[in-house]
Structure 1
Amino acid sequence: MQTELRLRIISGIVLAIAVLAATWFGGFAFRVLAAGIGVLIYYEWSTITRLADSDFRGNAFGWLAVALVAALVLFDFDELALPALLAATVIGIAYALVARSSRWLPGGIVYSGLTVISLAAIRGDTAHGFAAMLFIFAVVWATDILAYFIGRAIGGPKLAPSISPGKTWSGAIGGAVSAVVAGTLVHMAFFSLNGLWVPAIALVLSIFSQIGDLFESFIKRRFGVKDSSRLIPGHGGVMDRVDGLVFACFAAFLIALGDAIMKGTVNTPAGVFLFGP
């Protein structure tokens, strides 16, 4: 076995164990994971987009904003995290316009901060949150793995050749179908299946997962970068590993938030809205 492949397998196993352990324990352990992922994503985002070199003051504000959101989530002030992110985003946009700075600054704040908030909100401290995170993991991993193998086996028209030449429509469709099956099976391991809501949400999250993958590919191609960083041996960076998961969590969180706002029950955990029996 080649050294690079061995390193990739070992680091992948270690990461999977760490993530699943934090998901199992929930609470502070998972909030640490969510906050850490968000902070590392902003580090990679600011490096890829060269914010650190082009705009020191703007990048310093971005770090402050993401650190604040991460701290609020970490110490269980979730109700303040989203307003803080919205305020920081508005300030970032205003700063970018007035100072004629990079538009990537507010984008990085939103991408990183919403990652922290959505992950923590979905997992929460309930059994529903645990089931919800496993559901999302199953959807994202099935999408990623099966899209690769089905795409290679069938081939056909390219999905987005200017962004990611290796992806095909056959892979995208195969990954989505696989995600629906995997997500439905995980849900059925916890709750009875009533209606088409679970397969439908699995399909939506699979589509967003693939959009997230393409989004990161677009950013890296835009700045001529192969990997988001070298933080994970054999895998590249954190963004390389969680791009699909991040967008799937964005979609799940926003769906749950919209449902909560319409029903006037914003204090109910996101996992209950999405995956409650």
Structure 2
Amino acid sequence: MSQELRLRILSGIVMAIVVLSATWVGGFAFRLLAAAIALLVYYEWSTITRFAPADRIGGWIAVAIIAGAVLLDRIGLGVALLAAFTLAGMFRTALSAGSQGWLPGGILYAGLTGLSLAAIRGDDAAGLAAMLFVFALVWATDILAYFVGRAIGGPKLAPRISPGKTWSGAVGGTISAVIAGCAVALLLTDASPIWIVPAAFILSVASQAGDLFESFIKRRFGVKDSSRLIPGHGGVMDRVDGLVVACFAAFVLMAARALMAGGSFDMNGGMLLGL
């Protein structure tokens, strides 16, 4: 076994322990993890896209404030702040000649990362089940898409963005995600498959879209990895690209159910599972 492979395995074990431990504990521990991921994602986004230093500092302030709302468990306030800062970034971009919107994009991407993770996990057993549901389907999507794609091959999914991905892999990953998601949900809750199956399908597709989106960003700016923060793995965005967008989709589903139920952002992970 090469030294690089050993380093990759060791880093993966450490990451799994940290993430799953924080997920199990929930509460402030998980919100701290969510806020840290948001800040690291913004760091990598701003480094990759190389927008102006003054804009980068403004983005740091915005994302740090949103991370603070995550730590304080003020999801509704965080959403309002995210909208305000993103609009301010868009206004700033409109006034800057040659700017392509990477500043507001970074604020939105990083801020929504922290908010969606914290909102899904929450503080109760339903939140734990919801977060494990998302983890299971994202991991199933990623792993089975790779193996099915290699075994079957066929037409490429997005050859200009990620030449290795195939339609067969995408379909195989989605089917496996629905199975894995249903297994976790039915094992941990009494959620109805009528809701779980379409939710798992949507989140699996979102996960693959997130993977492609990060590949597009890296190809656009000619970088191999989002950073070198994680030994043997590259950057945080490299590891959470599919998870992040799946969580965005889960957050939207939860927000829609919360608004229909009570007209506010008073949501919890159980809403994702139809509980």
TM-score above 0.5: yes
Q: Which residue of 1 aligns with 2:245?
A: 247
In 2, the alpha carbon distance for the partners of 1:253 and 1:48 equals: 26
1:43 equivalent in alignment to 2:43: yes
1:64 equivalent in alignment to 2:61: yes
Q: Which residue of 1 aligns with 2:231?
A: 233
Shift of 1:193: 4.7
Asked if 2 retains the 8 angstrom alpha-carbon contact of 1:257 and 1:270, the reply is no
Q: Which runs of 5+ in 1 are unaligned?
A: none
In 1, the alpha carbon distance for the partners of 2:270 and 2:195 equals: 14
Q: Deviations over 1:97-128 (max 9, x none)?
A: 01233410000000000000000000011110
Residue in structure 1 matching 2:177, options 162, 179, 184: 179
What SS does the corresponding residue of 1:235 show, helix, strand or coil? coil
Q: TM-score, normalised by structure 1?
A: 0.96
Q: Which residue of 2 aligns with 1:82?
A: 79
Q: Which residue of 2 aligns with 1:99?
A: 96
Q: Which runs of 5+ in 2 are unaligned?
A: none
Instruction: State the aligned residue count.
Output: 274
Asked if 1 retains the 8 angstrom alpha-carbon contact of 2:255 and 2:267, the reply is no
Shift of 1:190: 1.2
Runs of 4+ more than 6 Å apart: none
Q: Which residue of 2 aligns with 1:125?
A: 123
Asked if 2 retains the 8 angstrom alpha-carbon contact of 1:85 and 1:113, the reply is yes
Q: Deviations over 1:75-111 (max 9, x none)?
A: 2222211100100001000000012334100000000
In 1, the alpha carbon distance for the partners of 2:212 and 2:53 equals: 28
Q: Which residue of 2 aligns with 1:223?
A: 221
In 2, the alpha carbon distance for the partners of 1:218 and 1:270 equals: 32
Q: Which residue of 2 aligns with 1:266?
A: 264
Q: Which residue of 2 aligns with 1:23?
A: 23
Q: TM-score, normalised by structure 2?
A: 0.97
- In the TM superposition, what are the counterparts of 1:101-116 in structure 2 within 5 Å? 101-116=99-114
With 224-233 and 55-64 compared, the bigger mean Cα shift is at: 55-64
In 2, the alpha carbon distance for the partners of 1:63 and 1:174 equals: 39
Q: Percent identity?
A: 63
